[in-house]
Amino acid sequence: MDDINTITDRLSADRDASDDELKILIDAEKSDRLRELAARRRMEYYGLDVYTRGLIEFTNYCKNNCLYCGIRAGNSDQKRYRLSKDDILACCREGYELGFRTFVLQGGEDLYYTDSMICGIVSSIKSGYPDCAVTLSLGEKERESYQSFFDAGADRYLLRHETADEEHYGKLHPESMSLKNRKRCLFDLKEIGYQVGSGFMVGSPYQTLDNLVSDLRFLQELMPDMIGIGPFIPHENTPFGGFERGSLKRTLNLISILRLMFPYALIPATTALGTIHPLGREMGIKAGANVVMPNLSPVGVRKLYSLYDDKICTGEEAAECRGCLERRVQTAGYRLTVDIGNVKRGL
């Protein structure tokens, strides 16, 4: 087998590598060359720009019971909240003034919000802010629902596949959920015309290197516009409360690998990455990420959107994540842009 640098050079040139080569890169201890080539590739496509998205976590009710997630229905210790349409529009107003041109509405799978309510929220945002993109992240729905949100003006949809291996999927989710339906959703979203984001957790319980290779292979099939990955972090009131966190190094290696395999992609430096290391997001940007998603939710509810323990940006200090992230992006040597931030497929 060739050495790490040779494999890295080949991944960069071919935008692909064999399964065994990918496994070596995912686990590489010395990944200087991987970082360097990923940064160079990102420069070719996006320059120094880092796009920003205002994240509005509008409900922490969820009907599902994913074993890793703190807002799972089975977590009866979790205090629940919902934002009204007016609350959400107030977040957008504030966000617009702060320079956000994309709003991401994210929530648990909460049937309180009917399709027509979601459509009403989306169309109000689009008519109030026609120069902005609306991204939805509401989980698995029927194709007709996705279509109606799209018709109401939604531009993008985020739905991580979480793991592309059937057996592993079964270990992370209750029997009521399936990888098959997850994939159905993702392909429906793409066909409808959304810009689609997918992704997975790094270091989720029982994950193997082969599973991660399957994740990369699935992404090659889906070719999403956005790819979000972050380390698994245990939440104490879940069945996975006793598992280890995912590794920082492995997450950064995967960000760089993704940048080389999918040069055009929008890849966020995630909150989970910032949670496992104080400079995690800066490191993510240097490794090839080009998006940050500061929290725009009202400070009073932020602590309640607790997917995992110790989540950052939930205290009073986080009232203004945008300023904080702007400084962080600058420190990393990049610049935060006020731009709708569409994908650049064309190079």
Write out the residues near ligand FES by the rule CB under 6 A.
294-295, 313, 317-318, 321, 324-325
Residue 321 contact, options ligand 5AD, ligand FES, none, Cβ 5-8 Å cut-off depending on partner type: ligand FES
* DSSP category for residue 304: T
Residue with smaller CB distance to ligand FES, 11 or 312: 312
Q: What's at 323, amino acid-wise?
A: G
Structure-token pair, residue 183 = 């994939």
232 binds ligand 5AD (CB under 6 A): yes
**Concatenated DSSP letters for 133-199?**
EEEEE-----HHHHHHHHHTT--EEE---B-S-HHHHHHHS-TT--HHHHHHHHHHHHHHT-EEEEE
Closest residue to ligand 5AD using C-beta atoms: 308
HSE-up of 307 (CA within 13 Å, CB side)? Answer: 18
Distance between CA atoms of 170 and 303, rounded to whole angstroms?
Answer: 29
How would you write 222-246 as a 3-class SS string? HCCCEEEEEECCCCCCCCCCCCCCC
**Residue 90 Cβ vs ligand 5AD, minimum distance, rounded to whole Å:** 23
215 binds ligand 5AD (CB under 6 A): no
Cβ pair 341, 51 in contact under 8 A: yes
Cβ pair 185, 233 in contact under 8 A: no
177 binds ligand 5AD (CB under 6 A): no
Residue with smaller CB distance to ligand FES, 90 or 318: 318
From 6-14, 74-82, 189-197, 232-240, give the range in contact with ligand 5AD by CB under 6 A. Answer: 232-240
Cβ pair 98, 333 in contact under 8 A: no
**Residue 57 Cβ vs ligand FES, minimum distance, rounded to whole Å:** 13
Residue with smaller CB distance to ligand FES, 228 or 294: 294
68 binds ligand 5AD (CB under 6 A): yes
Out of 22, 201, 273, 289, which residue is the one contacting ligand 5AD (CB under 6 A)? 201
Other CB atoms closer than 10 Å to residue 298's CB: what's the count?
18
From 4-12, 43-51, 189-197, 230-238, give the range in contact with ligand 5AD by CB under 6 A. Answer: 230-238
* Nearest of 128, 52, 117, 131 to residue 89 by alpha carbon: 128
Query: Total number of residues binding ligand 5AD (CB under 6 A)?
Result: 12
272 binds ligand 5AD (CB under 6 A): yes
* Nearest of 59, 128, 48 to residue 95 by alpha carbon: 128
Lookup result for tokens 């940050």: 292
Residue 201 contact, options ligand 5AD, ligand FES, none, Cβ 5-8 Å cut-off depending on partner type: ligand 5AD
From 14-22, 187-195, 227-235, 337-345, give the range in contact with ligand 5AD by CB under 6 A. Answer: 227-235
Out of 233, 257, 273, 293, which residue is the one contacting ligand 5AD (CB under 6 A)? 233
Q: Which residues bind to ligand 5AD, rule: CB under 6 A?
A: 68-69, 160, 162, 201, 230, 232-233, 235, 272, 307-308
